[in-house]
């Protein structure tokens, strides 16, 4: 089981960088050419208009950058442009725009995670063995995702499928090594993923993973080592062909999640729209990278708050019999002491709990040892009835004969909850 938090502030900060470029162009195109201090912060941009006579005109131009939400003005606009005083303007996303951006990002993330797990099911032995497992991929609250696959022996295996953002970009190389100590305007320093060599790159990407329509494992035509083949769409093929023809002899960096994974020298113009990435790949790592590229990048990086094994796996101290696993959501009225006392009063035998995430996440996993006198459905119904008004049942199933560690006794839950 994994609990991930989407880093939405990163998306907003990226939007501000784009907005800064848009504002510069809009001001110049609108005849406002004398301005300074055009800066992008994490959640807004600001600019000072040098000529007092241009301040009102600048406001009109900048307001033109705002776009309607939901396709109509009735839904509001995405940008708030305010007079910051001292001949300055401030631009930020409106609250409805932030909500819409968050919802869109979370929906895309859920879909890509599902696609990665589906694709891995044809090649990962540990996933093939657990086809009976019910896969739960669920949004939790505003910016969290719960991924649960009962039966998997290690959360690290699940993390290997979805732990990388997979953001692929292609950049011009302006230098490396000693030439890449300081990044000036419009540049960035990116390390090599193997030896740590720094590369000085143009910040603006020539192409991105969005231009890649297919990727698959292949083998180098000369040394036979694994490579990752890729193919661009029509627009990407044209850009790639034009760039390679104009930059023969120059280095060309391929960047994945802010690391240079390959920096080949352009030997000739490539107009076919296809190429390959070479490195110290194994067949497994090349296959994994090909899937990552083919299915697309997550729209946001994820911070993993919880990594726990909740499926059947042999562990010392685990239940000797099968158990009923219930995944429940806690209502706002839920009191941990009441929950624990009600569970103890049921007399169902060995019962353990595991809180998912932090106290605000409101999710709980409950294990109850399965006995001969009651069926799993009877046990589940008894728990739900006892906790009526405090929980919402997400799912329940039978696991075992042994379940993984990471559970806590009712006493431990109470201690942790009130700490």
Residues 228 and 273 occupy one common structural domain: yes
Rg (CA), the chain: 27
To the nearest 5 percent, what fractions of the chain are helix, strand and coil?
35, 30, 35
Find residue 276's DSSP bridge partners: 229
Closest CA to 174 of 143, 198, 210: 198
- H or E segment to which residue 174 belongs: strand 168-176
| pLDDT for position 128 | 44
Closest CA to 98 of 166, 24, 168, 6: 6
Which CATH number belongs to the domain containing residue 81 in this structure? 3.90.1070
Residues 181 and 285 occupy one common structural domain: yes
- Out of 249, 264, 295, a domain closes at 295
Report whether 261 contacts 254 (CB < 8 A).
yes
| pLDDT for position 403 | 39
- Out of 260, 295, 330, a domain closes at 295
| pLDDT for position 73 | 54
Integer angstrom CA distances of residue 270 from 220, 235, 383, 407, 410: 17, 14, 64, 56, 64
- H or E segment to which residue 289 belongs: helix 283-295
Residues 258 and 343 occupy one common structural domain: no
Residues 283 and 198 occupy one common structural domain: yes
| pLDDT for position 62 | 94
Containing structural domain, residue 367: 317-418
- Out of 96, 128, 149, a domain closes at 96
Domain-embedded: residue 20: yes
Report whether 265 contacts 250 (CB < 8 A).
yes
Residues 278 and 336 occupy one common structural domain: no
Handedness of CA 170, 173, 178, 184 (dihedral sign): negative
Domain-embedded: residue 187: yes
| pLDDT for position 130 | 44
Find residue 137's DSSP bridge partners: 147
d(CA 372, CA 362): 32
| pLDDT for position 156 | 65
Domain-embedded: residue 350: yes
Residues 288 and 348 occupy one common structural domain: no
* Tally of domains within the chain: 3
| pLDDT for position 397 | 66
Provide the angle, in degrees to the nearest 10, between the axes of the packed helices 55-63 and 8-29: 130
Handedness of CA 57, 61, 66, 68 (dihedral sign): positive
Q: Which of the 8 DSSP states describes residue 154? A: -
Domain-embedded: residue 121: no
**Stated length of the chain:** 419
- Helix-then-strand count for the chain, H and E: 10, 21
Residue found by looking up tokens 């932030």 in the block: 98
Predicted TM-score of the model (pTM):
0.60
Residues 189 and 232 occupy one common structural domain: yes
Which CATH number belongs to the domain containing residue 249 in this structure? 3.30.1360.200
Q: Where are the alpha helices (DSSP H) in 54-164?
A: 55-63, 95-120, 125-128, 155-162
Residues 236 and 328 occupy one common structural domain: no
Residue found by looking up tokens 């839920």 in the block: 334
Report whether 133 contacts 124 (CB < 8 A).
no
Domain-embedded: residue 145: no
Residues 275 and 359 occupy one common structural domain: no
Domain-embedded: residue 330: yes
d(CA 155, CA 164): 14
| pLDDT for position 181 | 82
Q: Tens of pLDDT along the chain (419 residues)?
A: 678 899 999 999 989 988 998 999 999 999 998 999 999 999 999 999 999 999 999 999 999 999 888 655 556 889 999 999 999 999 999 999 999 999 999 988 888 888 877 766 544 444 444 443 456 788 888 898 888 765 444 566 667 667 777 788 999 999 998 888 888 888 899 998 888 889 999 988 999 888 888 888 888 888 888 888 888 988 999 999 999 999 999 999 999 888 998 888 888 888 888 888 887 788 878 887 887 788 778 888 888 887 665 443 333 333 445 677 777 777 777 776 778 778 878 877 677 766 655 445 566 777 777 766 777 778 888 888 888 888 887 776 666 544 334 444 444 444 444 34
d(CA 60, CA 51): 15
349: left (phi over 0), alpha (psi -120 to 50) or beta: left
Torsion angle, alpha carbons of 333, 336, 339, 344, to 10 = -170
Report whether 312 contacts 370 (CB < 8 A).
no
d(CA 262, CA 279): 7
d(CA 232, CA 53): 48
Residues 291 and 381 occupy one common structural domain: no
d(CA 363, CA 372): 29
Integer angstrom CA distances of residue 172 from 59, 251, 324, 352: 36, 7, 56, 56
- Within 13 A of 396's CA, how many CA atoms are on the CB side? 20
Cβ contacts of 111-117, under 8 Å, gap ≥ 24: 112/295, 112/296, 112/297, 112/298, 112/299, 113/137, 113/145, 113/147, 113/162, 113/298, 115/295, 116/161, 116/162, 116/291, 116/292, 116/295, 117/149, 117/161, 117/162
User: 250 is written with which tokens?
Assistant: 């120059």
Which CATH number belongs to the domain containing residue 324 in this structure? 3.30.70.2040
Domain-embedded: residue 306: no
Residues 331 and 282 occupy one common structural domain: no
Residues 260 and 191 occupy one common structural domain: yes
Domain-embedded: residue 123: no
d(CA 104, CA 61): 28
d(CA 47, CA 90): 7
């Amino acid at each position: 089981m994994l609990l991930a938090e989407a880093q939405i502030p990163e998306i907003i900060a990226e939007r501000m960088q784009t907005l800064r470029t848009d504002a510069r162009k809009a001001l110049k195109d609108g005849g406002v050419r004398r301005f300074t201090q055009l800066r992008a912060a994490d959640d807004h941009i600001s600019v000072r208009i040098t000529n007092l006579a241009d301040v009102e005109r600048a406001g009109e131009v900048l307001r033109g950058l705002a776009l309607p939400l939901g396709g109509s003005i009735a839904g509001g606009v995405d940008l708030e442009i305010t007079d910051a005083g001292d001949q300055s303007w401030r631009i930020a996303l409106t609250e409805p725009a932030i909500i819409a951006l968050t919802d869109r990002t979370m929906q895309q993330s859920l879909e890509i995670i599902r696609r990665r797990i589906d694709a891995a099911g044809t090649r990962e032995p540990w996933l093939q063995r657990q086809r009976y497992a019910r896969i739960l991929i669920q949004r939790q609250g505003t910016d969290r995702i719960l991924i649960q696959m009962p039966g998997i022996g290690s959360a690290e295996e699940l993390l290997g499928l979805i732990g990388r953002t997979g953001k692929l970009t292609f950049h011009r190389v302006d230098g490396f090594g000693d030439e890449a100590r300081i990044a000036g305007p419009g540049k960035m320093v990116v390390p090599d993923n193997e030896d740590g060599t720094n590369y000085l790159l143009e910040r603006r990407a020539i192409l991105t993973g969005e231009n890649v329509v297919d990727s698959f494992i292949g083998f180098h035509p000369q040394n036979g080592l694994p490579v990752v083949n890729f193919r661009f769409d029509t627009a990407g093929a044209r850009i790639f062909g034009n760039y390679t023809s104009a930059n023969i002899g120059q280095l060309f960096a391929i960047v994945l999640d802010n690391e240079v994974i390959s920096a080949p020298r352009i030997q000739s113009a490539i107009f076919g729209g296809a190429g390959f990435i070479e490195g110290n790949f194994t067949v497994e790592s090349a296959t994994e990278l090909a899937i990552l590229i083919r299915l697309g990048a997550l729209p946001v990086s994820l911070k993993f708050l919880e990594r726990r094994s909740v499926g059947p796996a042999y562990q010392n101290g685990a239940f000797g019999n099968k158990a009923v696993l219930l995944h429940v959501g806690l209502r706002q009225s839920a009191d941990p002491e009441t929950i624990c006392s009600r569970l103890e009063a049921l007399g169902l035998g060995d019962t353990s709990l595991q809180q998912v995430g932090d106290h605000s996440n409101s999710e709980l996993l409950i294990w109850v040892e399965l006995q001969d006198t009651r069926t799993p459905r009877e046990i589940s119904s008894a728990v739900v009835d006892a906790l009526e008004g405090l929980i919402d049942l997400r799912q329940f199933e039978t696991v075992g004969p042994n379940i993984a560690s990471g559970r806590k006794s009712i006493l431990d839950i109470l201690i942790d909850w009130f700490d």
